[in-house]
Structure 1
Amino acid sequence: MIGDGMKILIADDDPISRRILSKVVTDLGYEPITVSNGMDALERVKKKECSVVLLDWMMPGMDGIEVCREIRMLDAENVCYIIINSAREGSDDISRALKAGANDYISKKTNSIELKARIGVAVRTAQLEKKLIDLNNRLKYLVRIDSLTGLLNHAAILKELSIELERGRRDGTATSILMLDLDRFKTVNDTYGHQTGDKVLIRFSNLLIQSCRSFDRIGRYGGEEFLIVLPRTGDEESLIIGNRIRARTETLEIDSEIEELSITCSIGCCSTIDSEKHSFAMIASADSALFRAKKAGRNLIMSCK
């Protein structure tokens, strides 16, 4: 059997039991990690070294039941299938172990065939749980991301704005936003086709990422409109960032096979001292400034002041 690098933690204060269990684990193709007390077992689990634990009940310091309870209080993404391995065989003991958080309970008298089967179930369950967690995290990521540009989507960027405004209110710092719109984007689509239009959106999105700071938040607000959240940033600095983006957009190469294709963007800026404005009020103000930039001839940045 191939273990696929799986490590199984064996916690038992008896060296003979550790050797026997290690042999069983090795025979299954997995790597045994052994400790002699509950505290060391808990530390190994916290480091996410092992997803399956064979845990003795009676150990010095912290016993197996206490370790179970502590493990179940850890991060939900800390996958750990716990098998209590004990000389106790009473129904009350088994019930107590399972209520403490153990997934399975086996007697130390259990033969190696059954023990291997139980470990096999543990491994499959742990692997499935890990896959489900990974899938759930992937879905959490996808629900926030615009599929074309890789930027935050409409709902996610609005959420980020609310978070940054709340942080700014607590810290007494300014927050700014930039509302950007690609000039005459419909003409690009009509002239060169939607595939080229998509390429424009992707290239422009990459430019935004390269032009902003690591802690700025960038999202596709909708269509050819983008929203950038600038934490701890006042009006003057936000205009500098916006102008940098505007200037770089003028020289952005979209498609080497379409030399005449170039784009520009118009930008509306809104800043709030102490972050006291509501997110919707800020967006409305930035959108109004963007409209004025468009009306004044495009390829401009204007503040809501």
Structure 2
Amino acid sequence: MVFDWEMPGMDGVEVCRNLRARHSDRPAYVILLTGRSSKDDVVAGLDAGANDYLGKPFDPDELRARVQVGRRFVELYDELLETQRALEVQARTDALTQMMNRRAVLARLREEMGGNGAGESALCIAILDIDHFKQVNDEHGHVTGDAVLCEVARRSEAGVRPGDVVGRFGGEEFLVLMPGASADEARAVLEGVRRRIEATPIEYDNHPVHVTASLGGTSAIPGEAEDEILVRADEALYRAKALGRNRVEMAA
């Protein structure tokens, strides 16, 4: 953008200040034209938010060159912004399954629990663990094991309600968040996920692999810490394993 210092209604310096006061992911590149040449005026213009300063009378070729510099600046800024956004997504995404990673899903849990005060909506969570996953890796190899993880992730996400969240918790475990769900509603959702996982073998490289999953769920208690609800879900998962696997257990 090119502004003249002297403009009717609002001068170029005031326009710069207003532009910089707006919060934008893509700030404008501003060249300020003026017949003023004192150091104080130059400083005032730059302090107001101008990126460049050109005295009048100006050479049109010089102005074009400075506009080109501004265009390159904006292009580089856009590239930097794009890279930053990609890195932010990467930091929240599990590289294998392309779902939320542990850090992201725990951050989401903290957000949900922050609104779980007295009188607020219910929240249920569950930890899902693929049964005998080590055996899958030992018998079929880690490449097949990775394919199993990806398919279990897909089936889990397909089995939950709109608004529910599934993230990879670590290894062969996934964390399921069900905002607004009662314990009975959560059990029904988790049973649906469990059935989806066991329903058909997972095919990879012409090798069908039949897997099941155990799930331990619990309801959030208003005011409790993140670790407390995770411990209860883990205890329910342990009980599901102890009772024969391929089942859903809810903490009391």
Q: TM-score, normalised by structure 1?
A: 0.78
Give me the whole-angstrom Cα distance separating, in 1, the residues matched to 2:135 and 2:15: 66
Q: How does 1:1-305 map to 2 (within 5 A)?
A: 53-169=1-117, 172-255=120-203, 257-259=206-208, 261-273=209-221, 275-305=222-252
- Aligned-partner SS, 2:117: helix
Alpha-carbon contact 2:20-2:27 (below 8 Å) kept = no
Q: Deviations over 1:216-271 (max 9, x none)?
A: 22211100000011112221111111011001111144216123x21110000010
- Post-superposition offset of 1:60: 3.2
Structure 1 ranges of 4+ moved more than 6 A = none
Alpha-carbon contact 2:156-2:197 (below 8 Å) kept = no
Q: Which runs of 5+ in 2 are unaligned?
A: none
Give me the whole-angstrom Cα distance separating, in 2, the residues matched to 1:223 and 1:88: 66
- Aligned-partner SS, 1:169: coil
- Aligned-partner SS, 1:95: helix
| TM-aligned CA distance change 1:191 to 1:100, over 3 Å | same
Alpha-carbon contact 1:168-1:232 (below 8 Å) kept = no
Give me the whole-angstrom Cα distance separating, in 1, the residues matched to 2:10 and 2:201: 64
Q: TM-score, normalised by structure 2?
A: 0.94
Give me the whole-angstrom Cα distance separating, in 2, the residues matched to 1:122 and 1:283: 52
- Post-superposition offset of 1:170: 7.4
- Aligned-partner SS, 1:255: strand
Amino acid at match of 1:179: I
Alpha-carbon contact 2:240-2:248 (below 8 Å) kept = yes
Greater RCO (Cα-Cα under 8 Å, separation 6 or more): 2
- Post-superposition offset of 1:135: 0.8
Alpha-carbon contact 1:174-1:234 (below 8 Å) kept = yes
Amino acid at match of 2:60: S
Give me the whole-angstrom Cα distance separating, in 2, the residues matched to 1:108 and 1:263: 76
Root mean square deviation, CA, Å: 1.6
- Aligned-partner SS, 1:81: coil
Q: How much identity, in percent, do the aligned residues show?
A: 37
Alpha-carbon contact 1:85-1:106 (below 8 Å) kept = yes
| TM-aligned CA distance change 1:127 to 1:301, over 3 Å | same
Amino acid at match of 1:164: E
- Post-superposition offset of 1:76: 4.8
Q: Which runs of 5+ in 1 are unaligned?
A: 1-52
Amino acid at match of 1:249: I
| TM-aligned CA distance change 1:98 to 1:177, over 3 Å | same
- Post-superposition offset of 1:171: 6.2
